[in-house]
Amino acid sequence: MHVKELFDLKDQVALITGGGRGLGKQIAEAYAEMGCHLALCSRKKEVCEETAEIFRNKYNVIAKSYELDVTNESMVEDVVNQVLEDFGKIDILVNNSGATWGAPVEEMPLEAWNKVLNVNVTGTFLMSRAVGRHMIERKSGKIINIASAAGLTVRPPEITNTIGYTTSKAAVIHFTKDLAIKWARHNIHVNAIAPGMFRTKMTKGTLEQKEKEILERIPLRKIGDENMLKGAALYLATKASDFVTGTVLSVDGGSTL
């Protein structure tokens, strides 16, 4: 097989949560460029639709948008069923929707803790379960969970003070490994990407305040840009990773070393 075929996604279908902007949009573009059709989901459907329209015109793929709260069980089931009706299949699931909350541990409201855990952990479970049933029937699938370098290490409060987020991403990493061994018999590959610091809406405030200190902790001395996650996301979605499951691929400039 030619190496280009290993990374081809022509006529595959990817469901990406939080796919309208940030890291989800970057991943969606990488897939669209390789011929993949897109189902982009988030609570803000209009943002997903704007992105879908761009990719439809730019890459000549089918791209549709869906309103989705990943913590709502019935909504998850309905949207997955609608995507299956619209596209006929789901080859790739990217669990990218995420939430964070910055506060000292002793001041963090329970409501904030629950919100972060529900979106990042429960949402990943609900999406994986709903799409996984379809993948089990087909005996094929790629699930990519967007974890975080923050789930692999700890930092002093002067750098990050988001214990709900870091705990949730550590949970996503373990969920990835456990699900990988459960579903390997169904030829479903389950892997995670652990991004470090990227320039997104979620990190804008932190970078404005602490970019110098953050850069000092990144061996490559750079912040992730709009292209640096694409290769990892493409690798884990394609035939190139057919002998890889249960792994966590850090894309963090060396910050977790």
**What does the domain layout of the chain look like in residue ranges?**
3-251
Name which of 24, 22, 69, 80 is nearest 43 in CA terms.
69
Q: Give CA–CA dist 15/38, Å, rounded.
A: 6
Predicted local confidence at residue 124, as pLDDT: 98
Integer Cα distance of 116 and 121 in angstroms: 8
pLDDT on residue 155: 87
Per DSSP bridges, beta strands 141-146 and 13-17 are unpaired
Instruction: Please give the pLDDT value at position 209.
Output: 80
Supply the pLDDT for residue 202: 76
Active site residues: 165
- pLDDT for 235 equals 98
pLDDT of residue 210: 81
Residue 250 β-bridge partners: 194
CATH architecture of 3-251: 3-Layer(aba) Sandwich (3.40)
- CA dihedral (72, 162, 195, 191) positive or negative: negative
> Cβ distance 68 to 76 under 8 Å?
yes
| Residue with token string 């998850």 | 76
Residues of the chain with pLDDT under 50: none
Verdict on whether the full-model pTM lies above 0.85: yes
